[in-house]
Amino acid sequence: MTRIVTITVGTTTVPEPPGLNSRWQIDIFRQDPSTSTIRLPSDASAITVTLVNGAYSIDYAQPAIIVTNSQGLYYEYHTDQQAQRFGNQILISQTYRYYPSLHYVGTVVFTKPYQYVGYSGYAPMHINGTRLHWDESFTEPMLHQFEAAAWLVDPAAPRPDLQIVTATLDRRFNHIYVRAGIRNNGGITAGAPAFVNLYDRLAPSAPPTGPLDLADSWCTLDPVTMCGGSTSNRLPAVPPFQTVLFTAEYDLSAIDGQHDIYLFVDALGVVDALGVRKDLGLNYESAEGNNSMRVGEESLTWYRSFIFLPLIRRE
């Protein structure tokens, strides 16, 4: 199966939501010899279907495509319901699951003044200043999942400012409990995903340098990362001048010595439009240098303890 997606975000005279023009194209090379119904978004229009053998009909009331005994199927449609706006940012979300082999091809085209901020999930190829492209193949015989979110920003709009204002921990041997207060100092909601990354680094250490600094951290760039599996990660949307609480539990790495714990808010970030690493998370902030904090005033000393019991042999 090949799924081809083309999405165009354009300007509009209506501030929210932003204008969107999207066309979705799906090419299924093999279809079970039976009748199947393919449901489309409620506002789907300009529906086009091409079959290899078989027959089809379009139910415009649902809307849906009804296919019978097809060995190959291609269809496309137009919809205006694919973009969401969060404060000063726009989310283009693409997800798909399929059991047989899948070839996913997607393109997002956007116009000025929107600018590319970054992604989560599968990384796009940045073709030029207004075009992102994905080309992913899944060939193993298992359930495949493509998930990618591209974030755009209106640079003329106000910006949020996430800051870790408090960070404390309690310790039980090698197990620690972390609490942090994270405030939005900006005048607009921080609505893009904001993950909190926890770092366990051996002293002497240096704080994380940015959202893509993942050394000795619990976040990865895996599309389905949970950043340690914490129930408070990712953060909810943080309103202007409000503070949210982040809590986590963590086992120190099994390395003897002194451990320094850091937190970084708005992790997993992005590269810029030219593919160059930047100290930017998914939230386009007015200040990017206050996203990190060391937890606790002193390093944590951790040595594994062993108890040796004598072996007694009975004669």
Tokens (6 digits) for 294: 């060391």
Please write the tens of the pLDDT for every residue from 193-233: 788 999 999 989 999 988 888 899 988 776 455 677 666 78
Q: Are 106 and 62 in contact (CB under 8 A)?
A: no
Q: Please, what is the end-to-end C-alpha distance for the chain in angstroms?
A: 72
The yes-or-no answer to whether 2-153 and 162-301 have a common fold is yes
pLDDT at position 12 = 46
Residue 291: which of 204, 180, 191 has the closest Cα?
180
115: β partners = 153
pLDDT grade for 20, boundaries at 50, 70 and 90: very low
Q: Are 215 and 291 in contact (CB under 8 A)?
A: no
* Secondary structure of residue 229 in the 3-state scheme: helix
Half-sphere exposure of 165 (CA within 13 A, CB side): 12
pLDDT at position 15 = 40
Give the number of other Cβ atoms within 10 Å of residue 25's Cβ.
Answer: 16
Q: Please give the full DSSP string across 271-309, using - where no structure is assigned.
A: B-TTS-B-S--SS--S--TTSEEEEEEEEEEE------P
pLDDT at position 11 = 52
pLDDT at position 58 = 93
State the chain's maximal CA–CA distance in angstroms: 94
Q: Are 280 and 270 in contact (CB under 8 A)?
A: yes
In the chain, the percentage of residues whose pLDDT exceeds 70 is 74
Give me the chain's average pLDDT, please.
78
Q: Which helix (H) or strand (E) holds 127?
A: strand 125-128
Give the domain 2-153 fold.
Immunoglobulin-like (2.60.40)
Strand order in the sheet with 162-172: 162-172, 175-184, 243-251
DSSP 228: G
Q: Are 150 and 92 in contact (CB under 8 A)?
A: yes
CA triple 46-51-55, angle to 5 deg: 95
pLDDT grade for 192, boundaries at 50, 70 and 90: confident
Rounded Cα distance between 182 and 265, Å, is: 8
- Residue 87 carries which side chain, given as an amino acid letter? G
Please write the tens of the pLDDT for every residue from 144-178: 777 788 888 878 778 899 999 999 999 888 888 99
Segments making up each domain of the chain, as ranges: 2-153, 162-301
Q: Are 272 and 280 in contact (CB under 8 A)?
A: yes
* Secondary structure of residue 227 in the 3-state scheme: helix
Count how many residues are written for the chain. 315
CATH of region 162-301, choose from 2.40.160.50, 2.60.120.1140, 3.40.640.10, 2.60.40.10: 2.60.40.10
Q: Are 125 and 150 in contact (CB under 8 A)?
A: no
